[in-house]
Structure 1
Amino acid sequence: MSVLIETSVGDIVIDLLVDQCPRSCTNFLKLCKAKAYNWSLFHTVQKDFIAQAGDPTGTGKGGQSVWGLIHGESRRHFVPELLPKLKHKKRGTVSFACVTPPAADGSTPQPVPLAASQFFITLAPQVPDLDGRHAPFGVVAEGLDVLDKFNDALVDDNGRPYQDIRIRHTVIIDDPFPDPDGLRIPEGSPEPTEKMLKSTRLADIDLLQPTLPPEEEERAHRREEANARALTLEMLGDLPFAEIKPPENVLFVCKLNPVTRDEDLELIFSRFGTIRSCEIIRDKKTGDSLQYAFIEFDEKDACERAFFKMENVLIDDRRIHVDFSQSVGKLHKEWMFARQQKLRGGSELQKKTQYRDDDPAAEAQYDMVFEGQDGQEQERVAGRSGGGSGREKSQPQSHRDARERDSGKGRERPERERDRAQDDGRSGYSRKEKYRGGRGDGNDGRRRRSRSRSGDRGAYKRRRSRSR
């Protein structure tokens, strides 16, 4: 004879000692059958000691037996079996919590302990302090892992769990006792009363999240994962915002023939409405069709009409498949372009850098500093007007010569250097003496070479004309 107790932390199966404790087992079975334990709290949980429940008020001061449920307050308690051989020497022992009320005159207590509906389950292998004071009537057969959860529960100084542990439902597996006269058995499990819910601290997790069918629960789980991924993409800048949705006027078409062109597809779908764009996606390198396309209509209704009419239609010997687009690539591209334009300034971007070559008038605003060859103080030279550009005037002769050498203006051909060396040798002066201030200015040789070369060219032309 067993009873299944469904709690918020797991299920427990209790085997009842019906042969040894018939009154206690009858009371427990009939209270479970009357759904008196449903939604009651485990109001006291003491680690490695006991977990107590069975009080509808959740205070540890209420509860009544099945006979009190039928006849009223006068039969609230009953006398359980207290057998010396039944002790709390096994983990998972189930006992009724007994009290010893005082005598009628208040002088001496009655020797017989009484019980009502409250029971407890031991969480330790041996609890000898409870022997002889409380009435064992069963033992936990299945669900010992639930007892570990009881031990791990966080409780306050009075042993009340911070998060509620409730009995949700009781199922009688075998009941050998007849029902007492007048016992009312509900057809289904009753809902918790408002008073029960107000007595809670932190509701159990399953009450905060109502039970859903497996399909809906899986769908909700996927939706949460998608929202988390979208939020991550928004933080990385891949999406403009996490709640972005695909456009409703874009149709996705796949299973196309590779020979189908954009113009053909646009002509076929244009009968449903105005088309903004029709693009067959192609390979970037080869330009071959990837056999799917996106068609953007001007109106949402046109997109819906095309969706219902063009499914499995034959185009270029291929039966196509159409669906509403789930891609946000185009929206992302437009958003990225707008974002880049905003960062760069777009059309409102103004030229911040002013170059002196672009505006000669602004050249006077810039000063150039050069260090003298003797290493003394620096010379500040500004642009001057007249006789060439201010940049040429402002630079020393050595700098201008260096620029001419780099640009190729001051370079001499090897032939000219050889001729100049020969002329210097005939005149009796070396190049060093010329540039040191010797006779002549070094230009006579250049003029003679130019005249001789021009004469040679003229004679060559005359010989060519005669031969012809």
Structure 2
Amino acid sequence: MSVLLETTAGDIVIDLAYNEFQLEAYNFLKLCKCNYYKYQKIVKNGDEINFGDPIIGFKERNDQLVYETSINGLLDVSEETTLVPKLIKTTSKNSDNSTGETGLEKGSIAFKVIKQDGIDLIGSKVVLKLVSCLYPAKELAYFGNVPRQYWEVLDKFMQLDDKMEIRVKNILIIRDPFPDPEGFQQFDVPLPIGDVELPSELIEKHQAKSKMSLLKSEIENQELALEIIGDIPSSTIKPLKTVLFVCKLNAMTNAKDLAQIFSRFGQIISVEIVRDKDTGRSLGYGFIEFDSEGAVELAYSNMEGVIIDDKKIHVDFSQSVSKLASQWTCGKNK
């Protein structure tokens, strides 16, 4: 079970250890699915990145005026009700960690732990480690990791300035084994245009302009803010049931190869491999769109774990409204 976190600085694939840490995995998946993390600011702090506070860098967000909550605090919420943050207990395996320090591998993701009356609780604040390190055992509740084949993007994050503006663009849930709780809903998150921190050189340029050009400059700033966030699809778009997600691809595998291999299961509408916008290099995952749900199910049941170009691939049903992040270039039947 995996989650694809699309950010303005690169895409992060996260594998969830949901068999061992069910409460943490459930909480993270439902927070992702309800759009809690959407457009949130990602804060880089040395060798880690943090997100999960919907208020940081998001004054325009009026639907979730809390600094932290679990999914339980977001159930049965309406315009007439006041959102009350609620925390949940960690799994016993996380709570039983010994005192002192524990080793966290590069790519580990965990919730920040809050202690109340001797009980370890979690909400929504997440830490993702960019390097292997020791960490106080009682401060984090581990629940997943970034696979080694995707560590390149962690290295890219490590090189970024801590003050760089980074936002969550979208989250793709590859598979959610947990039923939605009663009262679950998806939030319509506004674009944080007024809250995006623009580059310092643009601000200086803006301040140097005369009053006559002030309005034009404001428009340019808003356009740049939209460009930072990216092109966002409508919230009314529904997931495509005819799309199959495929990952762990060999970097040499192209869309034409996949189209030929998967065509035996039905007519293919399109094949898209996600590529880095700067280098054009394959990021190791993509999407195959068939003409029918039956073809998708047939491909899913036959292609899991199949070796293509010396790599054992993983396939699953796509549960996202977005097949691709708009900033990536795609190989379509090429």
TM-score, normalised by the number of residues in structure 2: 0.51
1:84 aligns with 2:83: no
Q: Which has the larger radius of gyration?
A: 1
The 1:31–1:211 alpha-carbon spacing in structure 2 relative to 1, beyond 3 Å, is: closer
Deviations 1:36-71 (A, max 9, x none): 11100113x1222x2101211126971321110015
Q: Distance in 2 between matches of 1:68 and 1:97?
A: 17
Deviations along 1:419-442, one digit per CA (max 9) or x if unpaired, are xxxxxxxxxxxxxxxxxxxxxxxx
Provide the secondary structure at the position in 1 that maps to 2:88: coil
> Does the C-alpha gap of structure 1 residues 21 and 78 become closer, same or farther in structure 2, counting only changes over 3 Å?
same
Are residues 51 and 88 of structure 1, via their aligned partners in 2, closer, same or farther at CA, if it must alter by over 3 Å?
Answer: farther
Taking structure 1 as reference, are residues 164 and 179 closer, same or farther at Cα in structure 2, changes over 3 Å only?
Answer: same
Distance in 2 separating the partners of 1:40 and 1:181: 25
Q: Which has the higher helix share?
A: 1
Aligned match of 1:70: 75
Secondary structure of the 2:155 match is helix
The one-letter code matched in structure 1 to 2:51 is A
Partner of 1:153: 160
Aligned to 2:172: 171
CA RMSD of aligned residues (A): 2.9
Question: Equivalent residue for 1:320?
Answer: none
- 1:40 corresponds to: 40
Unaligned runs of 5+ in 2: 59-65, 78-82, 200-223, 233-334
What residue in structure 2 maps to residue 224 of structure 1? none
CA change 1:180–1:12 in 2 (3 A) is same
AA aligned to 2:131 is A
For the pair 1:197 / 2:193, whether they are aligned, the reply is: yes
Whether 1:181 and 2:186 are equivalent positions in the alignment is no
In structure 1, distance between residues paired with 2:127 and 2:53: 11
Contact 1:41 1:167 in 2 (8 A): yes
1:132 and 2:150 aligned: no
Q: 1:59 to 1:125 in 2, by over 3 A?
A: same
CA contact (8 A) 2:52 2:125 kept: yes
Q: Percent identity?
A: 29
Contact 2:30 2:180 in 1 (8 A): yes
Structure-2 residue corresponding to 1:207: 227
Contact 1:98/1:133 (8 A) holds in 2: yes
Task: Name the counterpart of 2:54.
Answer: 56
Q: Shift in Å at residue 13 of structure 1?
A: 1.0
1:251-330 correspondence runs (5 A): none
- Code of the residue aligned with 2:112 in structure 1: it is A
Tell me the number of residue pairs that the alignment of Structure 1 and Structure 2 aligns: 190
CA distance in 1, matches of 2:88, 2:17: 17
Which residue pairs with 2:243 in the alignment?
none
CA distance in 2, matches of 1:67, 1:98: 16
Bigger mean CA offset, 79-88 vs 128-137: 79-88
Name the structure with the higher strand share: 2
1:7: which partner in 2? Answer: 7
Q: Residue by residue, what CA displacement relative to the aligned partner does 1:60-91 show, whole Å, maximum 9, x if unpaired? A: 97132111001565552111222539954210
Give the secondary structure class of the aligned counterpart of 1:185. Answer: coil
Report the TM-score when normalising by structure 1. 0.37
Query: Letter of the aligned partner of 1:143 in structure 2?
Result: Y
2:73 partner amino acid: G
Written as runs of structure 1 = structure 2, the 5 A alignment for 1:14-25 is 14-25=14-25
SS in 2 for 1:113: strand
User: Against the structure 1 CA distance between its residues 153 and 67, is the aligned structure 2 distance closer, same or farther, given a 3 Å change threshold?
Assistant: same
**Post-superposition, which runs of at least 4 consecutive aligned residues in structure 1 deviate over 6 A?**
203-206
Give the whole-Å Cα distance in 2 for the aligned partners of 1:58 and 1:122: 20
What is the SS of the residue equivalent to 1:114? Answer: strand
Residue type at the aligned position of 2:169? R
Q: Deviations over 1:323-352 (max 9, x none)?
A: xxxxxxxxxxxxxxxxxxxxxxxxxxxxxx
3-state SS of paired residue (1:100) = strand
